[in-house]
């Protein structure tokens, strides 16, 4: 009889209406061989490398989607990796081995338990077995094994921008994802966007005579000249996408420039937290009922205080 394991809850994420300003689409991203690669040898033991472009990829994705990192690693291992990969907590939702299902020798990530509309979920993963229950939601990611010249994450950002900003009101994202199945996503997206623009241009051209007739009628009965829409709605969406793209790049440069300052603030916070744990006598019951001692986290624009 095969061993089985189920998540402890059917709601792996908090209710969406309890979180303000969430984007309409949820992006679930794998960790191993998607964002990082871990290797072991006798000389160095375990070492973990970041996939090229991962910092900007996570920054851009977290500004476009509700992002969830879902790994098959246990939390006590993955948390240490994520603390280094995402020290600023751009991706607050993180799920681990404990939230997976184990069926017939396979570790399965069941996105029906995410407490989200499954028609609004996009998955990026390098392991097809992990999402064998919902393959229609998956964008296949080429596994990364340490190649320093890999550019998949950066090359995929136009696709993410297009999905998030051009299709944010789509009722079901899965038919769109299906078009990318088995394709080179960055390359196929360029072709897909051209087809998307042609389709909407044709629809606008067909509707144009009706709009012109309505405009003339309204101007006659209202006595005012009705302005015709100068730019089609789909072109406005493309313009908005370009503006968001430029803003993301500029803001990321600012965050990156302040990286050392922010890292010092994080290190200072961790140091103070560890010192407070040593200096305060706290029982197990207090830790469970009250949580750890609260240490004020320094603001990013303030240098950490010297000890």
Q: pLDDT tens track of the chain, all 307 residues? A: 346 788 888 899 999 999 999 999 999 999 999 999 998 887 778 889 999 999 999 999 999 999 999 999 999 999 999 998 998 889 999 999 999 998 888 999 999 999 999 999 999 999 999 999 999 999 999 999 999 999 999 999 999 999 999 998 899 999 999 999 999 999 999 999 999 999 989 888 887 765 555 555 455 555 554 444 567 888 888 899 899 999 998 888 887 777 677 667 766 766 765 666 566 555 555 555 555 555 444 444 444 444 4
**pLDDT at site 226:** 46
User: Cα(254)–Cα(257) distance, rounded to whole angstroms?
Assistant: 5
**pLDDT at site 203:** 87
**pLDDT at site 6:** 87
**pLDDT at site 293:** 52
Class of domain 4-182: alpha beta
pTM of the predicted protein model: 0.79
**pLDDT at site 66:** 97
**pLDDT at site 219:** 58
């Amino acid at each position: 009889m095969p061993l089985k394991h189920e998540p402890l809850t059917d709601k792996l994420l908090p209710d969406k209406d309890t979180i303000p300003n969430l984007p309409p689409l949820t992006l679930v991203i794998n960790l191993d061989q998607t964002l990082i690669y871990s290797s072991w040898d006798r000389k160095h033991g375990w070492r973990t490398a970041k996939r090229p472009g991962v910092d900007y990829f996570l920054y851009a994705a977290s500004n476009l989607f509700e992002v969830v990192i879902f790994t098959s690693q246990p939390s006590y291992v993955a948390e240490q990796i994520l603390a280094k990969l995402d020290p600023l907590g751009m991706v607050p939702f993180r799920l681990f081995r404990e939230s997976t299902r184990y069926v017939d020798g396979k570790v399965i990530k069941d996105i029906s338990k995410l407490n989200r509309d499954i028609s609004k979920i996009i998955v990026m993963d390098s392991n097809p077995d992990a999402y064998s229950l919902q393959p229609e939601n998956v964008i296949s990611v080429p596994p990364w094994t340490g190649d320093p010249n890999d550019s998949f994450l950066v090359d995929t950002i136009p696709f993410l921008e297009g999905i998030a900003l051009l299709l944010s009101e789509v009722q079901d994202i899965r038919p769109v994802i299906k078009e990318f199945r088995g394709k080179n996503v960055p390359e196929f997206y360029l072709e897909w966007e051209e087809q998307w623009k042609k389709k909407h241009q044709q629809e606008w051209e067909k509707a144009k005579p009706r709009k012109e007739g309505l405009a003339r009628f309204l101007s006659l009965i209202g006595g005012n000249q009705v302005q015709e829409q100068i730019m089609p709605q789909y072109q406005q969406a493309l313009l908005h996408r370009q503006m968001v793209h430029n803003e993301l790049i500029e803001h990321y440069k600012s965050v990156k420039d302040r990286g050392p300052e922010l890292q010092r603030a994080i290190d200072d916070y961790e140091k103070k937290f560890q010192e407070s744990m040593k200096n305060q006598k706290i029982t197990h019951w207090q830790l469970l009922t009250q949580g750890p001692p609260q240490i004020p986290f320094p603001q990013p624009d303030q240098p950490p205080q010297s000890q």
